[in-house]
Structure 1
Amino acid sequence: MSTYSFDQLINRTGTQSVKWDKTDLVFGAKDVLPFWVADMDFQAPPNVLQTINERVKHGIFGYTSPTESTANALSSWVEKKHQWTIDHEWITYSPGVVFALSMAIQAFTEPGDSILIQPPVYTPFFNMIKVNDREVVENPLKLAGDKYEIDFADLEQKFAEGVKLMILCSPHNPVGRVWTKEELKKLADLCEKYNVLIVSDEIHSDLIYQPYKHIPISMVSEDAANRTITCMAPSKTFNIPGLQASAIIIPNEKLRTQYVQQQQKQGFSNLNTFGIIGLEAAYSEGEEWLEALLVYLKKNVDLVTRFISENLPELRVVQPEGTYLLWIDCNKLHLSEEELHERLLEKGKIAVEKGEKYSSTYGKGFIRLNIGCSHEQLQEGLNRLKVALT
């Protein structure tokens, strides 16, 4: 029996919450229940809260910097959870993974270079490529039966045309795939063949459902490790994105030096005080809380799947292997994008992410639903979804 409860309904309004205080502004509709931006409505693990509270009581917030204990917390976590042994010297830090993506693009490519992504995929991948004046190359994932797969023939063709870097989403947001070792090895071999660097966004790597297992792509071969920049963070896992602390792991010394120099050009030097201690506390003592969370989230997955099967059979839930984000196919309703989201907002009073945000072509007719909330709140959201779409 878990000692942690995720059933508590906590009022987040008035806390500068993007999810709760900005929904009206983002969606242009009032009194809607938010299931969009990817943070959860659960308090952080008790040990993280206790550590932060003790630090607040100290009362002095001078300049701070990660220490050996910070690196040890991260490396011990990665070793235990993913069986990946990392040297402390491989680690650098970033206020966020999106910032790290931009730094990697600037460090390893030039304006006009081609960067490959696999849509439908996390929106900032597109944005960071475009705002840095690089070219987006798409290797669309294929929906084969009930799950997405990599189109390796198309991938090789795109690599052969001169791609310099690819951004891998692993596990994948929004389709929920946890890539197998075989898939990652095949991808890494193609990157070696065509000399493509890999920036691997592994921010959801700890949010994995049984029997699936996350494998860092750097583990599949020595060459993969030497051409990969891995981005990890406690932010999604322990619901602390507002602390703004991520870890960027780069085994290749030359690449690591280039990356750090690019961060320095942007004026970044260190994480904030609470980001450092939050990261360290979460990775040091958060495992038991995470195990309880995953049980709770899996019940939410099952709740959504069952409800939609019984009440909205035209919809299809792409079963997630990881993440707390559900990718739901609404195409059989034969609604335009405008009609679909007008119904959701105006009739159902529910805010979800539009699938077209993740690809104007391959996301059409889909929605992304954040299930990181209490069973009660999720049930209310599903009831609203039914009102909207029936």
Structure 2
Amino acid sequence: MVEVEALPLSELRERTSEKWREYPADVLPLFVAETDFPLAPTVQAALQRAIETGDTGYIASRGPLAETFAAFAKRRFDWEVDPARLRSTADVSMGIVEILRRVVQPGERVIVTPPVYPPFYDLVEEAGAEVERVPLRDTGTAWELDLDGIRSAFEDGARAILLCNPHNPTGTVHDRDALAALADLADEFDAAVVSDEIHALLAQPGTGFTPFLSVSPVAQRVGYAVVSASKAFNLAGLKCALMVTADDATTAVLRSLPIEVVWRTGQLGLLAAVAAFGEESDEWLDGLVRTLDRNRVLLEDLLARLLPGARYRIPDAGYLAWIDVSRLGLGDSPARRILKDAKVALNAGSTFGAEGEGFVRLNFGTNPEILTEAVERIAALVGR
């Protein structure tokens, strides 16, 4: 059984990515969604081969990525994907924008479900549309889609919904019934569902993950999925994502995209994605998910012991924790106060929407020592 362990702080400080260069060396960075694990050996080997042979040119018009992902989807999610209905692009955000540009007209409205990944607001505007906010419902024990609110938005003219599944920042995996109901609503109002499934690979086994396009024939008719290995395998800088469809009409939309949308895929990103989605990487991915399971539970224990006023629900997927710190006396901008006085960088909840006021997002995709020290620093600040 493979064990995946994060690198020590001394090695992480040598990285030059955003996570390790945005703040001074006395700050523990637990903000941007980069992880602190070494590359999967299969991915590392694929990249090394490419460098050694100078295989760094343009992506090929024909290659194994679509077929490799289809096999991965069947193996991991029992999801039947037709490789002919896929197109690659540089990243999930680009895929979202390019699809939205073709399913909504300028000035039409696209639903988002805050608190949600902050760039969603910008991506809708980049596509020429306007944001329609329908917040998640907080049941007291979980977050869920507000299907009544989504119906009202569609009735009022919204033309699409940008779905986050698994949801960032809450880590919620939307269940099959909710996704099927959403598909039916979109179909009823002739709207589209664009599902960002970038965290799908990191769903915990106890919850599992249901791809939107797998829930029903209706979902296949109204839906688009955008997926990537980048979050699970820490490949964001290599630039490769897949746009997935399951119906003739939606596939025609992908085929209508300019060829440059596909050619923006990074060659190294494509090679890394093929390795990541290959069966040889499954054992490493399983080990990573186990490590994240231990970290999400460790965080619960640390908060209960050191910051009992914080409220945190263990996420279903991913490595992002959504924590209510409103009762800790950290003022109107808790993330800013924590950065200034505890030297821990977190994401401010307010950037995810008004529903995030008083929250912070913490990245626990790191080693236990860093995670523990971060919570201890915040606890010391609160205890002053």
1:354 match: 348
CA apart distance, 1:384: 1.6
One of 330, 350, 373 as aligned partner of 2:366 = 373
Distance 1:350 1:3, change over 3 A: closer
Alignment-mate amino acid for residue 45 of structure 1: A
1:253 match: 248
One of 132, 142, 152 as aligned partner of 1:137 = 132
Task: Please give the alpha-carbon distance, in whole angstroms, between the structure 2 residues aligned to 1:77 and 1:320.
Answer: 23
1:84 match: 79
CA apart distance, 1:263: 4.1
SS of the counterpart of 2:219?
helix
The Cα offsets for residues 205-249 of structure 1, whole Å up to 9 and x where unpaired, read as: 111123101111111111210211101100011111111111110
Task: Please give the alpha-carbon distance, in whole angstroms, between the structure 1 residues aligned to 2:168 and 2:64.
Answer: 31
CA apart distance, 1:251: 2.0
Distance 1:7 1:375, change over 3 A: farther
One of 355, 379, 384 as aligned partner of 1:386 = 379
- Whether the 8 Å CA contact 2:7–2:38 is kept in 1: the answer is no
Distance 1:3 1:123, change over 3 A: closer
Alignment-mate amino acid for residue 381 of structure 2: A
Alignment-mate amino acid for residue 48 of structure 1: V
CA apart distance, 1:276: 1.4
Alignment-mate amino acid for residue 11 of structure 2: N
- Whether the 8 Å CA contact 1:66–1:271 is kept in 2: the answer is no
Alignment-mate amino acid for residue 285 of structure 2: L
1:17-56 to 2 correspondences below 5 Å = 17-23=17-23, 31-56=26-51
1:1-390 to 2 correspondences below 5 Å = 1-6=1-6, 8-9=8-9, 11-13=11-13, 15-23=15-23, 31-65=26-60, 67-264=62-259, 268-284=262-278, 285-338=280-333, 340-359=334-353, 361-390=354-383
What RMSD in Å do the two structures reach over aligned CA positions?
1.8
- Whether the 8 Å CA contact 1:325–1:369 is kept in 2: the answer is yes
1:27 match: none
Gaps of 5+ in 1: 25-29
CA apart distance, 1:67: 3.6
SS of the counterpart of 1:50?
helix
CA apart distance, 1:143: 1.4
SS of the counterpart of 2:340?
helix
The Cα offsets for residues 330-374 of structure 1, whole Å up to 9 and x where unpaired, read as: 122354323x23430121100000001110x20000000000111
Distance 1:341 1:237, change over 3 A: closer
SS of the counterpart of 1:236?
helix
CA apart distance, 1:389: 2.4
Distance 1:4 1:353, change over 3 A: closer
The Cα offsets for residues 59-87 of structure 1, whole Å up to 9 and x where unpaired, read as: 25332326442222111100011111111
Task: Please give the alpha-carbon distance, in whole angstroms, between the structure 2 residues aligned to 1:10 and 1:77.
Answer: 35
SS of the counterpart of 1:362?
helix
Task: Please give the alpha-carbon distance, in whole angstroms, between the structure 2 residues aligned to 1:279 and 1:17.
Answer: 19
> Which stretch has the larger CA shift, 73-82 or 255-264?
255-264
Percent identity over paired residues: 28
Distance 1:218 1:68, change over 3 A: same
> Which stretch has the larger CA shift, 229-238 or 144-153?
144-153
TM-score computed with the length of structure 1 as normaliser: 0.93
SS of the counterpart of 2:356?
coil
- Whether the 8 Å CA contact 1:106–1:262 is kept in 2: the answer is no
> Which stretch has the larger CA shift, 117-126 or 342-351?
342-351
Distance 1:10 1:257, change over 3 A: farther
Alignment-mate amino acid for residue 156 of structure 2: E
Gaps of 5+ in 2: none
